[in-house]
Copies of this chain bind each other. A is one copy, B any other.
Amino acid sequence: MKPPLSATEAAAAIDAGTLTAQQLVRDCLDRIAEREPAVRAWAFLDPALAMAQAKAADASNGGLLRGIPIGVKDIIDTHDMPTGHNSPIFAGKTTFGDAACIALCRDANAVIMGKTVTTEFANRHPGPTTNPHNAAHTPGGSSSGSAAAVADGHVPLAFGTQTGGSVIRPAAYCGVIGYKPTFGDFSRVGIKMQCHSLDTLGLMARTLDDIALLRGAVLKLPPVKIDRSIAAPRIGFCRTPLWADASGETKALLERTASKLAAVDVTFAAPFTNILDDHAAIMGWECVRNYADERLRNPDKVSRELMDGPVRKGLDVSFERYVAAQRKATAFKAHVDSLFDDVDVLLCPSAPGEAPEGVEFTGDPRFNSIWTLAGTPCVTLPAGAGGKGLPLGIQLVGLRHEDDRLLSTAAWAAARLSP
């Protein structure tokens, strides 16, 4: 396989007339045809529909994403493809409209390539996707197919969503860049809701420039380039209260990285050491109500894993506990904001370690859930491999609403860390 073009490179080549969208999409479809039997990243793919969009893109007059193929997590609505949510309730069903993020990408003349495998309703019950680096391991979840498809060169860009760690973790496990924006920036219209206080649409790509490109399209901004001329940023090293749960090689990687980046230690104040419990209370209370239609009208079509796990646990969360967690979350957001008084970004683990073996357990989101609750922008960068030869990642976390600064700092760090 020749190294796949990044979205930024491909868009430039299409603009310059040295590449057509049809050629690009055909190359991607060839790659998928070759690899899909092992990777199983796609829940729906219609090559003819993808090629028709590519043809239209070639005939169009530009657009930020002209001709660029995008993978779409299968909990995101598309008017011309089914949205299955990895659930028999929705299998084969097509919505009337596109999710807002899809409509905005189409407006930028992107090619909506197909739907990527998700866990059931972006919760825990897994799909069949495997890790492209080793098919005996999970790609992570819930945005399993998006991470695997980008990592394996099927598409340069993909959408995922994160309630706990469903963008950053699979991106880290598969060795690609994952990005979760500041809570509230990206529209969630047309995306299956799990927890309204947490769910965040995120992006996956193989380069930071590609993240910036897609971010611009989803926000409907003028093209924003990553600033690579910034002064050396101040990095905080936040082991988080969960440090003991990181593997030895993850700890070593982070310590080494912190040292290279001259990071200073930053710690959570004592009242927030158990903040993960509040994330769990909010997630449990909200998901039970947000899944009301599925679990009450079609209980036999919901997985036992969901009904006996998150739903049962969620029903045990009292309203008083939920309110206390929401109040704590408000205080936590303010506290996390204050961690940035003296640093530009925080460095922390992307995941406890390499992707676990098997595809049944999609891995532990704890190093992500805390930041999802905080509403901060996060990015994971590939950072070599672990003992089993699977990717490791480092996570950079920014101040809310400072996504541009986070991406610039990530580019600075990536340049500093590259061998």
Which residues of A are interface residues toward B (Cβ below 8 A)? 79, 89-90, 93, 96-104, 106-107, 184, 187-190, 193, 196-197, 219-221, 286, 288-294, 296-297, 319, 323, 326-327, 401
Contact = CB atoms under 8 A, between A and B. Distances in A.
A288 B220 CA distance: 10
A60 to B, nearest CB: 14
Given A103-B292, A104-B289, A297 B79 contact: yes
B326 A107 contact: no
A90 B100 contact: no
A101 to B, nearest CB: 8
A193 B184 contact: no
A286 B187 contact: yes
Q: Which 9 A-B pairs have the closest CB atoms?
A: A103-B292, A103-B293, A97-B293, A100-B292, A187-B289, A98-B293, A189-B290, A323-B401, A189-B193
A292 B104 contact: yes
Contacts of A79: 293, 297
B188 A106 contact: no
Contact of A90 (B89, B96, B293): B96
Contacts of A292: 98, 100-101, 103-104, 107, 187, 189, 220
Contacts of A289: 100, 104, 187, 189, 219-220
A293 B289 CA distance: 27
Given A103-B292, A293-B190, A319 B197 contact: no
A102 B289 CA distance: 11
A397 B392 CA distance: 50
A399 to B, nearest CB: 11
A364 B206 CA distance: 49
10 contacts: A97-B294, A97-B297, A100-B293, A103-B297, A104-B296, A106-B297, A107-B292, A187-B286, A188-B196, A189-B196
- Number of copies of this chain that the complex holds: 2
A99 to B, nearest CB: 7
A197 B290 CA distance: 17
Contacts of A98: 292-293, 297
A13 to B, nearest CB: 26
Given A106-B296, A221-B319, A323-B401, A290 B97 contact: no
Given A100-B292, A106-B297, A189-B293, 5 more contacts: A102-B293, A104-B292, A104-B296, A189-B196, A219-B319
A96 B96 contact: no
A90 B95 CA distance: 12
B90 A326 contact: no
Contacts of A187: 193, 196, 286, 289-290, 292
A289 B319 CA distance: 32
Nearest to A295: B103
A102 B197 CA distance: 20
A79 B220 CA distance: 33
B96 A93 contact: yes
A286 B291 CA distance: 25
A98 B293 CA distance: 6
Contacts of A286: 187
